């Protein structure tokens, strides 16, 4: 049984993780920034060292393609993820999957494996969505979900324009987005959640990905003096907000369904200790792997908001994002499970709670994901950690499944 070169993979993860550190040591490689260029340059250098064909499309997606005259007409197996990061990131999110994809190709090449179709590794532009909206941008364009022109005109939080920034850093490529039509898509990723660690399992076979509903709720009441306004004469936007949040989170927690609900941001106006809030604004993050259940949660929230709006406040809701759940390819999921068992590794089917490039690629090809454990479930944080042995084990499962799909 062939195996990837663990030291090479781990060394590259660390080398890439050292690129883009600010003066406080924080890892920041926002999409199409100067530090993103440094990370891209390092990755492309490794692609060329591995003698892969490098292709860059107009939205900056990078592909390293291993093909031969015999198989170049076939739809390739694509392995991908992203190398952009959030602010003050860990070193594994995205990068692990991209570098493991490269590692798998190099291992297969070195082993004398002769694939019936090309095998390619992709680093998709702006998965994180921190600088430009929406997230998973490069893979969304690749899957045809939005035009290249639209995203190239995206204006960043810093006022920059993505198309100009890609040109500036030398990654506005000439390939038409979507040029590479995959036979299948694989993505290896850290779990970014606590499930595998809690259950002591090294491998997750990701069978689906939660649907996401992001909403911003704005409640308007009337500011008044906290001491002189009787409770019965108040239009307290903060009180209404607390009730809505309590309702939603209590309901979700009590349901015992896989639905998750989070209120991560809130602000009151005028935000003074002795003034009744005239306005409360908060966000709701609702997720569920089942579209009907997600819709039921949205409907329950909407019904409660209508009820709350009768109590002397007005409520408006803005939908910030909405993605339907994604069902991954059962055949690939079963191959992941079988590969784990063959290597004696514990495995379970699971749901991805976070969004990934795989959900976009699933629109155009059979796709699935492999998860490895995240210590304490932490991600988007310098404390993001997965043990070396687990990183190597996950890459070997990727190797096994890729070899099957490219045979």
Integer CA distances (angstroms), 223 to 90, 234, 268, 276, in order? 42, 9, 11, 5
Using the Cα atoms of residue 65, residue 69, residue 70 and residue 74 in order, give the sign of their dihedral.
Answer: positive
Q: Give the bridge partners for 288, in sequence order.
A: 211
Integer CA distances (angstroms), 160 to 3, 82, 289, 340, in order? 43, 21, 35, 45
Q: Which is nearer to a copy of itself, 167 or 266 (CB)?
A: 266
Query: CB of 256: closest distance to a copy of itself in angstroms?
Result: 8
Query: CB of 276: closest distance to a copy of itself in angstroms?
Result: 6
Query: CB of 24: closest distance to a copy of itself in angstroms?
Result: 16
Residues 151/141, Cβ–Cβ less than 8 Å: yes
Integer CA distances (angstroms), 256 to 250, 253, 259, 260, 353, in order? 11, 6, 8, 10, 16
Residue pointed to by tokens 């454990």:
373
Q: What is the dihedral of CA 38, 41, 45, 48, to 10 degrees?
A: 170
Q: Which is nearer to a copy of itself, 69 or 232 (CB)?
A: 232
Query: CB of 70: closest distance to a copy of itself in angstroms?
Result: 42
Q: Which is nearer to a copy of itself, 263 or 296 (CB)?
A: 263
Query: CB of 168: closest distance to a copy of itself in angstroms?
Result: 28
Query: CB of 228: closest distance to a copy of itself in angstroms?
Result: 3
For the record, the structure tokens of 227 come out as 């001491």
Q: Which is nearer to a copy of itself, 61 or 139 (CB)?
A: 139
For the record, the structure tokens of 241 come out as 């907000």
Q: Which is nearer to a copy of itself, 10 or 275 (CB)?
A: 275
Residues 301/286, Cβ–Cβ less than 8 Å: yes
Query: CB of 250: closest distance to a copy of itself in angstroms?
Result: 8
Q: Which is nearer to a copy of itself, 56 or 136 (CB)?
A: 136
Residue 119 burial class via C-beta count within 10 angstroms: exposed 0-12, middle 13-18, buried 19 and up: buried
∠293-294-295 over CA atoms, to 5°?
Answer: 90
What's the rounded Cα separation, in Å, for the pair 102 and 186?
A: 12
Q: Which is nearer to a copy of itself, 74 or 312 (CB)?
A: 312
What DSSP element (H or E) covers 220?
strand 211-220
Query: CB of 190: closest distance to a copy of itself in angstroms?
Result: 10
Judged by the rule CB under 8 A, the positions of this chain that interact with a copy of itself are 191-195, 198, 210, 212, 214, 223-233, 236, 238-239, 241-243, 245-246, 249-250, 252-253, 258-268, 271-277, 283, 285, 287, 320, 352-355, 377-381
Query: CB of 388: closest distance to a copy of itself in angstroms?
Result: 22
Q: Which is nearer to a copy of itself, 296 or 320 (CB)?
A: 320
Query: CB of 249: closest distance to a copy of itself in angstroms?
Result: 4
Tell me the backbone φ, ψ of residue 77, rounded to 5 degrees. Answer: -80, 130
Which parts of 143-194 fold into alpha helices (H)?
A: 148-152, 162-168
Q: Which is nearer to a copy of itself, 95 or 276 (CB)?
A: 276
Residues 212/286, Cβ–Cβ less than 8 Å: yes
Q: What is the dihedral of CA 192, 194, 198, 204, to 10 degrees?
A: -40
Q: Which is nearer to a copy of itself, 129 or 145 (CB)?
A: 129
């Amino acid at each position: 049984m062939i195996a990837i070169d663990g030291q090479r993979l781990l060394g590259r993860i660390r080398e890439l993780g050292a690129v883009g550190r600010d003066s406080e040591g924080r890892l920041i490689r926002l999409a199409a920034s100067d530090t993103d260029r440094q990370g891209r340059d390092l990755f492309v250098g490794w692609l060329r060292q591995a003698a892969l064909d490098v292709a860059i499309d107009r939205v900056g997606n990078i592909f390293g393609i291993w093909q031969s005259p015999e198989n170049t007409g076939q739809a390739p197996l694509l392995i991908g993820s992203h190398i952009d990061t959030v602010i003050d990131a860990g070193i594994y999110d995205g990068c692990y999957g991209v570098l493991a994809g490269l590692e798998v190709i190099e291992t297969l090449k070195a082993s004398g494996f002769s694939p019936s179709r090309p095998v390619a590794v992709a680093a998709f532009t702006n998965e994180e969505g921190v600088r430009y909206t929406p997230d998973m941008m490069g893979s969304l364009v690749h899957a045809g979900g939005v035009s290249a022109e639209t995203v190239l005109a995206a204006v960043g939080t810093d006022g920059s324009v993505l198309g100009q920034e890609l040109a500036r850093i030398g990654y506005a490529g000439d390939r038409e987005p979507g040029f590479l039509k995959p036979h299948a898509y694989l993505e290896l990723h850290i779990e970014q959640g606590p499930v595998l660690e809690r259950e002591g399992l090294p491998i997750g076979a990701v069978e689906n990905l939660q649907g996401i509903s992001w909403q911003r709720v704005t409640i308007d009441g009337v500011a008044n003096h906290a001491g002189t306004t009787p409770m019965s004469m108040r239009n307290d936007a903060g009180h209404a907000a607390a009730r809505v949040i309590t309702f939603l989170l209590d309901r979700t927690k009590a349901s015992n369904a896989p639905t998750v609900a989070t209120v991560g941001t809130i602000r009151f106006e005028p935000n003074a200790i002795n003034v009744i809030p005239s306005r409360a604004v908060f966000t709701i993050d609702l997720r569920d792997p089942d579209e009907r259940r997600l819709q039921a949660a949205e409907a329950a929230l909407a019904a409660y908001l209508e009820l709350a709006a009768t109590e002397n406040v007005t409520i408006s809701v803005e939908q910030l994002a909405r993605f339907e759940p994604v069902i991954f390819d059962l055949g690939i999921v079963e191959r992941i499970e079988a590969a784990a068992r063959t290597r004696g590794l514990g495995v379970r089917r699971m749901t991805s709670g976070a969004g990934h490039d795989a959900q976009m690629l699933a629109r155009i090809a059979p796709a699935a994901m492999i998860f490895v454990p995240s210590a304490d479930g932490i991600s988007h944080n310098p404390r993001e950690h997965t043990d070396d042995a687990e990183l190597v084990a996950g890459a070997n499962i990727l190797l096994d499944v890729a070899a099957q799909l490219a045979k």
